């Protein structure tokens, strides 16, 4: 009994001493010996994925876009062309139902993609200042301003194997990092820069059209009523059945947990004064420039702008 439990635990992280034992990633990967055609990707690339995704600016060089950052590597992993083979990061387990939305061979999964449909709450407000006039039956209301309130995202994450655990760990560190400024010894970006802007996409063309946001709060609950898995640090685990007495930086993560995010949409004064028109907004023309290739969102406006003459910055809610 003890030997069986020990073998199971070792096999879960790919360290079983039995040379014929497969680790979890290989068990979930599609077989290359299948007589039937391998699963085909539903979407042409990650840019047309309708699921909720949070990513950095495409030209950024920090966090998961830093090639030296192995902890966040699962958030930007190149997809193989075999429909799910391999065990690099979360690619193998996502080669099935989850991997269908991550693109063809050579495409990259960019940012945090919520594996299950999250609960998203968006609030639009028009503020009016009341003026109570003397000897009047009705209060007069004068328009002050409009705003898009903070967006709340409540998403579930499951950890059934090492790959999913590494993905959750990377997502947690990414969101934590997005709430902190560059400080101290930072050089790229330099110390003193505020937390980075992230871009929110989801549900297709018009609902969350590459919205620029700042992350104002992150909450992750570690429940007490679920099992926990020992997850090795990404980049330190290479499958080797003969490896013994391995020392890994590992983390215990719940098999089911929830991340609650609060994101505040932000738009620059230039974007508002030169790139916004209510007429064009109501026509759905201010999501992204027509035909403009965006790594985080390939959705383009179906109609051109009427009043805005500069290229639309996109992302207006």
Tens digit of pLDDT for each residue in 62-80? 999 888 888 898 888 654 4
pLDDT of residue 271: 86
* pLDDT above 90: percentage of residues in the chain: 37
pLDDT of residue 241: 47
> Is residue 194 within a helix (H) or strand (E), and if so which, with residue range?
none
> Is 109 found in the same domain as 254?
yes
pLDDT in tens, 254-273: 999 999 999 999 998 888 88
pLDDT of residue 290: 54
> Is 309 found in the same domain as 210?
no
Q: Which of 230, 251, 266 is the last residue of a domain?
A: 266
pLDDT of residue 44: 37
SS3 category, 202: strand
Q: Give φ, ψ of 273 to 5 degrees.
A: -80, -30
pLDDT of residue 12: 45
Q: Which of 266, 286, 306 is the last residue of a domain?
A: 266
| Nearest by Cα to 284 from 203, 205, 199, 200 | 205
> Is 274 found in the same domain as 131?
no
Q: Give me the count of residues in the chain.
A: 317
> Is 204 found in the same domain as 280?
no
DSSP state letter for 78: B
Give the domain extent around 234: 2-266
**What is the DSSP secondary-structure string of 248-313?**
--EEEEESEEEEEEEEEE---HHHHHHH--HHHHHTT-SSS-TT---SS-----SS--SS--SPP-
Q: Judge whether 79 and 105 are in contact, CB under 8 Å.
A: yes
Which segments of the chain have a pLDDT < 70? Answer: 1-48, 77-109, 235-248, 289-299, 312-313
**What is the DSSP secondary-structure string of 109-120?**
--SEE-SSPPEE
Q: Which of 225, 249, 266 is the last residue of a domain?
A: 266
Burial (Cβ within 10 Å: 0-12, 13-18, ≥19) of residue 78 = middle
pLDDT of residue 77: 65
pLDDT of residue 160: 92
pLDDT in tens, 298-315: 567 777 788 888 776 678
> Is 275 found in the same domain as 261?
no
pLDDT of residue 80: 45
> Is 306 found in the same domain as 188?
no
> Is residue 294 within a helix (H) or strand (E), and if so which, with residue range?
none
> Is 273 found in the same domain as 261?
no
């Amino acid at each position: 009994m003890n030997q069986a439990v020990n073998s199971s635990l070792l096999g879960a992280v790919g360290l079983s001493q039995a040379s014929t034992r497969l680790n979890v990633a290989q068990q979930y990967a599609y077989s290359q010996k299948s007589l039937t055609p391998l699963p085909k990707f539903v979407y042409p690339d990650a840019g047309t994925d309708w699921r909720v995704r949070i990513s950095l600016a495409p030209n950024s060089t920090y966090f998961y876009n830093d090639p030296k950052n192995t902890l966040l590597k699962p958030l930007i992993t190149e997809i193989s062309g075999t429909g799910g083979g391999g065990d690099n990061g979360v690619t193998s387990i996502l080669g099935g139902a989850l991997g269908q939305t991550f693109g063809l061979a050579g495409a990259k999964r960019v940012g945090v993609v919520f594996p299950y449909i999250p609960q998203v709450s968006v609030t639009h407000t028009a503020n009016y200042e009341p003026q109570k006039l003397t000897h009047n039956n009705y209060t007069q209301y004068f328009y002050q301003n409009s705003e898009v309130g903070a967006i709340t995202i409540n998403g579930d994450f499951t950890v059934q194997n090492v790959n999913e655990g590494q993905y959750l760990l990377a997502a947690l560190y990414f969101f934590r990092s997005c709430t902190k400024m560059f400080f101290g010894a930072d050089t790229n970006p330099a110390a003193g820069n505020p937390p980075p802007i992230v871009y929110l996409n989801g549900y297709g063309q018009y609902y969350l059209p590459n919205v620029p946001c700042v992350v104002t709060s992150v909450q992750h609950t570690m429940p007490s009523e679920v099992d926990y898995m020992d997850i090795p640090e990404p980049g330190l685990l290479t499958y080797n059945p003969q490896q013994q007495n391995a020392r890994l930086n590992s983390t215990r993560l719940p098999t089911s947990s929830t991340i609650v995010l609060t994101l505040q949409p932000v738009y620059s004064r230039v974007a508002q004064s030169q790139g916004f028109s209510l007429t064009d907004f109501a026509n759905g023309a201010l999501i992204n420039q027509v035909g403009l290739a965006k790594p985080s969102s390939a959705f383009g406006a179906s109609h051109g702008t009427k009043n805005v003459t500069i290229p639309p910055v996109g992302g207006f809610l």
